[in-house]
Amino acid sequence: MENLRKNEDNSEEKIVDQIMTSASSSRATNIIRNHDFSQGLHSWHANSCSAIVASFDSEEVAEKSAGKYAVVVNRTECWQGLEQDITGEISPGSMYSVSACVGVSGSLQGPADVMATLKLEYQDSKTSYCFIGRTCVSKDTWETLEGSFSLSTMPRRVIIYLEGPSAGVDLLIKSVVVTCTTPQKSEGESSGCTTAGDGNIILNPTFEDGLNNWSARGCKIALHDSMADGKIVPLSGKVFASATERTQSWNGIQQDISGRVQRKLAYEVTAVARIYGNNVKSSDLRATLWVQTPNQRDQYIGIANVQATDKDWTQLKGKFLLNGSPSKVVVYLEGPPSGTDILLNSLVVKHAERTPPSPLPVIEDPNFGVNIIDNSSLLNGTNGWFSLGNCSLNVESGSPHIIPPMARDSLGVHEPLSGRLIHVKNRTQTWMGPAQMITDKVKLFLTYQVSAWVRIGSGATGPQNINVALGVDNNWVNGGQVEINDDRWHEISGSFRIEKQAAKIMVYVQGPSSGVDFMLAGLQIFAVDREARFKHLRRQTDLIRKRDVILKFSGAESGNLHGAFVKVKQTQNSFPFGSCISRSNIDNEDFTSFFVKNFNWAVFGNELKWYWTEPQQGSLNYKDADDMLAFCEANKIEPRGHCIFWEVEATVQQWLRSLNKNDLLTAVQNRLSSLLTRYKSKFRHYDVNNEMLHGSFYQDHLGKEIRSNMFKTANQLDPSAQLFVNDYHVEDGCDTRSSPEKYIQHILDLQEQGAPVGGIGIQGHIDSPIGPIVSSALDSLGILGLPIWFTELDVSSVNEYIRADDLEVMLREAYAHPAVEGVMLWGFWELFMSRENSHLVGAEGEINEAGKRYLELKKEWLSRAHGHVSEEGEFGFRGFNGTYALEVVVGSKKVVKTFVVDNGKTDSPFVVSIDLKV
């Protein structure tokens, strides 16, 4: 254990003296047992890690009682640390002061955060966490961590623990002091666990002290007890504030919270607000954070938004986290149009409570593969069916006798269909069609596949959409859709999952224009057995991703070589697994540690997009992208370029929208030249024009040829880069605009115009994924012979176990498919993802079930082998491409080597020559 150096201004002895002096001055008793570790680890417990007690050198600390400290080691999670049960020492209603002397050691760059946290366990098995305090510690120094807490009611157990540094960093604890600073309050005065001041870092949050600590952001603010002739009064308290004379949407009321927020700590913001005036009845209202870095760079963080009205107060709620160390932080409300007042009744910003882990869903008798639709065969006429609307349902013959291919992939061998169909006529609305109630048949958390044959009848004058929909307590859920423009039978396939108990669930088939007949046959809705699919994918993965490897040894005497023991362990898989990152993320050591360890590719979330690099015409900003590229290069991370253009009009800067055709064309050429010249050979991939199946801004303004010209010019400027198309809902059957067939035609059209399309990007923002549906899309696109990448993969579920299952489906399908050459996640860290409930790692570094599943799969896809050298001086095994560590025991010597299995044809052995000369 390395010694900690003395810090003249903040020495360990001085800090201990401060702590003990503070405790004695209040004449309070320290409730922590063995607070200075003079009795070893007695009364302390290491939380899922290990701990030892070390001693200072006698030259550093003369007093025997101050000569020991705890060292918490083998930490694989940021929350692991040292804890003590203080249940018997705590009384509800009292305020307790906490002060600890802490340090850090081991492999770390820069300072690390140490936190004190309270774990509260209740009788009903509920567990909650209360943040006490945090301090930032540099290596080889001691710091004081201070905070306070109070409990209104008494849990079954109260545990205090110290945590915080990144995995792999040792936590050092010299002493912990917890003293009671206020007498016990009467019962019922407060509720829950609070830190000093209830933890709210907002000063004067309900305007009891007038407008003190508040200021106007580009407008004026005022205080009111009522408005609108008494029609508007505070929801709580006696007064509220208004932001008036607003001339810009960003004008509003604000408070500077600099110095009161800590980096890498998640905060929850709750505001009670509304709008008033200017005849605006409803408007977007946002809570935003303005952050200024020490080098004067501005950052705006959206915290929350709500549709506010002029009728009632509404609650605005969201979270944020600061990755870096800002010089200034201001929270403010904004959003409504100019002339509309923002009214604020209260604002709370405090440390966000940890979300308790999700329960493991227990599903009894899932009945995988069993159709929950009554009378699907129509052998009993329309029994079980009813018409939604005043359309008519007639049973006829003439439909396919085989089940649709994607359903067959899930169900395996299946008896033939009856050949009967429902003919839907007299439709006067698009939503009219056959329906069934399935409320009692759908089980929570099961993933259901939807499958049917559909066909368009008479009355159609153009392409028609048919959709299998679900009404879940009056909410619409998409169960799959298909576009039809001929008289053939088409397969419709989709999926859904219900995660909250519903009072009513109805399935119905709808979509074609009014007056258009359609036919439905063989509708099946059944729960899918994902584990059975995984068995198939594991076999497929072995065929697609592994190859035979032969190690040929030399450099040792032949007599000693035969029979030598060989151990092979893969240290890194070369298959690209990457993630989206942002500029602020790389200021967070916990984030970068996890990212560099578990990903080998990166894509920039926004920082390379045109609206970011040139928000105003001629004002170029490449600083963020430069910083991120430098980070990638320093850590040997391959970056994807996302994106050169974005075809969806809502993402195009206002200054671009206002240009005439010639000026817009010039701007497009300047963008290409500026970006690709600056970063020539830096990005292996570029998404050239994002989401062309869902937008057409550049094509509408500059003509169809502009799309292929973007590809041609990009290729001329940087021939080394692969140029990708990129779009969403390609793989899930829920969007007819981006079906695999539409995507294939789109790519062929570009190629016919000479566009050098080098890869196919499937974004992968998916819900309730079904393996065969995803695989079918990949099979279709694979016909083009282009590499396929999942470029923005994320799955979303409140339940972490379900999220983990969904993620496993997508990763296994991608890794087992020969056309897929890489997978990029669209983020992994909470509060830095475009979709809620899709993160793998919590805001403060805790890995959830989805994150654990990702790590388990990464581990599964690393090969190991051992055995003995053959008479021919060879050792063979089958393994994934990537880097390997090799140990060979020759006689009494052990030789350690590394080698790399390159990407190549899996049907021929990869031969590696190993020289065993020591």
DSSP E strands in 339-496: the ranges are 341-351, 386-388, 392-397, 420-425, 433-437, 448-456, 464-472, 475-484, 490-496
* Nearest of 831, 327, 283 to residue 582 by alpha carbon: 831
Which one of the listed residues 163, 614, 731, 792 is annotated catalytic? 792
Please state, in angstroms and as integers, the Cα–Cα distance from residue 119 to each residue in 73, 85, 210, following that order.
21, 9, 37
pLDDT in tens, 390-421: 999 999 999 999 999 999 999 988 899 999 99
- Residue 17 predicted with pLDDT over 50: no
Distances (CA, A) of 15 to 103, 104, 138, 146, 684: 12, 15, 15, 12, 52
What is the helix (H) or strand (E) element at residue 792, kind and residue range? Answer: strand 788-795
How many CB atoms neighbour CB 428 within 10 A? 10
**pLDDT tens, position by position, 313-365:** 999 999 999 999 899 999 999 999 999 999 999 999 999 988 888 899 999 99
Q: Which strand (E) or helix (H) includes residue 669? A: helix 661-678
Phi, psi (rounded to 5 degrees) for 790: -80, 115
Q: What percent of the chain has pLDDT over 90?
A: 79
**For residues 702-717, average pLDDT:** 98
Q: Could you give the C-alpha distances from 253 to 35, 236, 284, in angstroms and in order?
A: 46, 19, 15
Q: Can you read off the two tokens belonging to residue 535?
A: 């068995």
Residue whose token pair is 């240009």: 659
Per-residue pLDDT of 106-131, as tens digits, reads 877 778 888 898 888 888 767 777 88
Closest CA to 799 of 852, 849, 856: 849
User: What CATH number was assigned to the domain covering residues 579-861?
Assistant: 3.20.20.80
Number of Cβ within 10 Å of residue 190's Cβ equals 15
Q: What is the pLDDT of residue 1?
A: 38
Q: Which CATH number fits domain 45-180: 3.20.190.10, 3.30.565.10, 3.40.50.720, 2.60.120.260?
A: 2.60.120.260
Which residues lie closer than 8 Å to 513 by C-beta, 6 or more apart? 430, 459, 460, 464
Which ranges in 385-443 belong to alpha helices (H)? 405-411
Catalytic position from the list 491, 691, 731, 800: 691
Residues 116-150 as b/e (b if ≥16 CB within 10 A, e otherwise) read bbbbbbeeeeebebbbbbbbbbebebbbbbbbbbb
pLDDT band at 165 (very low <50, low <70, confident <90, very high): confident
pLDDT of residue 76: 85
Q: Compute CA distances 897 → 554, 749, 888, whole Å.
A: 13, 50, 8
pLDDT tens-digit readout, 649-671: 999 999 999 999 999 999 999 99
Structure token pair of residue 762? 């499937």
- Answer yes or no: is pLDDT of 241 > 80: yes
Confidence of residue 193 (pLDDT cuts 50, 70, 90): low
Tokens 């076999």: give the residue: 539
Pairing of strands 266-276, 314-321: antiparallel
- Please tell me the class of the 370-528 domain: mainly beta
Expressed in angstroms, the distance from the first to the final Cα of the chain is 32
Alpha-carbon span 433 to 438, nearest angstrom: 16
At 66 the pLDDT is 55
- Measure the CA–CA gap between 202 and 146, rounded to whole angstroms: 19
Q: Judge whether 507 and 435 are in contact, CB under 8 Å.
A: yes
d(CA 190, CA 505): 42
Comparing 45-180 with 370-528, is the CATH topology the same? yes
DSSP-derived 3-state class of residue 14: helix
Place of tokens 């200034």: 328
Q: Are 560 and 890 in contact (CB under 8 A)?
A: yes
Minimum mean pLDDT range among 256-265, 744-753, 777-786: 256-265
- Residue 28: predicted pLDDT: 65
Residue 691 is among the residues annotated as catalytic for this protein: yes
**Res 889 pLDDT > 80:** yes
Alpha-carbon gap, residue 861 to 823, rounded angstroms:
14
Please, which residues have CB within 8 angstroms of residue 912's CB and are 6 or more apart in sequence? 549, 550, 551, 552, 899, 901
> In angstroms, rounded to a whole number, what is the distance separating the alpha carbons of residues 127 and 564?
54
How far is 441 from 373, CA to CA, in rounded Å? 9
Q: What is the pLDDT of residues 32-82, one digit of tens each?
A: 999 999 999 999 999 889 999 998 764 433 333 458 999 999 998 888 899
Every domain of the chain and the residues it spans = 45-180, 214-351, 370-528, 544-572+864-915, 579-861
**DSSP letter string, 299-326:** EEEEEEEEEEESSS-EEEEEEEE--S--
Q: What average pLDDT score do residues 150-177 get?
A: 90
CATH number for 214-351: choose from 3.30.420.40, 3.40.50.150, 3.40.190.10, 2.60.120.260. 2.60.120.260
How many whole angstroms separate alpha carbon 368 and alpha carbon 370? 6
Backbone φ/ψ region at 820: left (φ over 0), alpha (ψ -120 to 50), beta: beta
- Structure token pair of residue 69: 């400290």
Best CA proximity match to 457, nearest among 425, 433, 429: 425
pLDDT at 125: 66
Q: What architecture is the 544-572+864-915 domain classified under in CATH?
A: Sandwich (2.60)
**Run of H or E including 632:** helix 623-634
